[in-house]
Structure 1
C-alpha cells in the first residue's frame, strides 16, 4: 500500500537534503581545485552521514505515521506487537 500523504518530518528532511546537496557541490569543487584526499574523504563522509540520517528520519517517520494509523484499529495485544516493532526499529 502506498501512502502519499505529507508526513510531519518531510520539511526537516528536505532541509537536511538541501544542506547535504550544497555540501556535496562544495566537495566537487574541492576535488576540482586539487584539495588533499584526507580533506575530501572527511567531507564526503559528512555528506554520506547527512544523507543516511535523512533516510533514517524518513523511515522512522513513515513507521510512526503508518503503523500508528494502522495500530489504532487493532486489539491491544496486536498494538503491543506493533509498538515493540516501532521501538526496535529505532536501532536501525
Structure 2
C-alpha cells in the first residue's frame, strides 16, 4: 500500500499511534472487506517495541451510496470493418512504396 506523493513530492504515510508504547505505527497492509470497510495492519516504528496491530476502517456516507451501471466496453478492433483484414507482412496502402 503506497500513498501518492503530496504536493511537495514526498511520499505520505498513513500512521496511527501504537497502542502499546505510543510511538508512530505505520500502515503496512490494507484489505477491503466490503464496499465501505477496510482492515488495516500497522507496525510500530519503535524497534524495541515492534508491536503489530490490526484496525478496521468503516466509512459512513452522509447519503446512501448509489451503484452506477458500468458502461459497455469495446473489444479490440471493434471499429474496423469486417471486410478489411490485415495479414502479417502486408505493408499499409498508400505509403509511397511501389506506387509507380
TM, length-normalised to structure 1: 0.18
TM, length-normalised to structure 2: 0.17
In terms of fraction of residues, the more strand-rich structure is 2
In terms of fraction of residues, the more helix-rich structure is 1
